[in-house]
Amino acid sequence: MKNVLWLALFAGLMPAWSENCPATHPKDASALIQLEQAWAKALERHDVDGVACILAPGFQDADPEGQLHSREEVLAAIPKRRPGVNQLSELDPHLYGEVGYIRGLATLLDEEGQVKAKVRFTDIFIYRDGRWMAVAGQESLVSNPK
């Protein structure tokens, strides 16, 4: 049954995202910036559905320790995140037809506004059915977060 569900998602027979997800995105670099900002805010709110809107089926993430995580693992970890704020900067999107990537810097602040970490990231997106969807991510910890 699980395989049938995945096949239906890939074939577009069932919605892969929450009904609150945008139906379409512009096919431009500003959409990737907006998605990254929405992703960061959804993480702050522990909003699993908000992140699920952005991650494509088959998404994989390589964390700062080099461990690979599936879409399901990434989503399952969201409720366990520590409280804090994700400040994004240096967002640099690039588009190549139906594929795009964005690099940036995420500064993670605790509840008191203290810098806890800085993470350089690259996220890869595909444009499918009028939407940008993240298919892969990679994070690297910046050695001196201050």
| Phi, psi dihedrals of residue 16, rounded to the nearest 5° | -90, -5
User: Which neighbouring-strand residues pair with 60?
Assistant: 70, 136
Could you tell me the fold of the domain covering 28-141? Nuclear Transport Factor 2; Chain: A, (3.10.450)
Query: Within 10 Å of residue 115's Cβ, how many Cβ atoms?
Result: 12
Query: CA-to-CA distance for 53 and 16, rounded, in angstroms?
Result: 8
**Residue-range domain boundaries for the chain:** 28-141
Binned at pLDDT 50, 70 and 90, residue 18 comes out as very low
Residue count (the chain): 146
Consecutive H or E run containing 118: strand 115-128
Reported as a single tens digit per residue, the pLDDT across 32-60 is: 999 999 999 999 999 999 999 999 999 99
List pLDDT tens digits, range 82-128: 999 999 999 999 999 999 999 999 999 998 989 999 999 999 999 99
Would you state the pLDDT for residue 146?
Answer: 57
pLDDT tier at 19 (50, 70, 90 boundaries)? very low
Cβ contact 118:108 at 8 Å: yes
Beta bridge partners of 115: 109
Prediction pTM value: 0.83
What Rg value do the Cα atoms of the chain yield, rounded? 15
Residue 12 pLDDT more than 70?
A: no
Spatial CB neighbours of 84, under 8 Å, sequence gap ≥ 6: 44, 108, 109, 110, 111, 116
Please check the confidence at residue 15 and state whether its pLDDT lies above 60.
no
Provide the strand spans (E) within 35-114: 55-62, 68-70, 85-96, 99-109
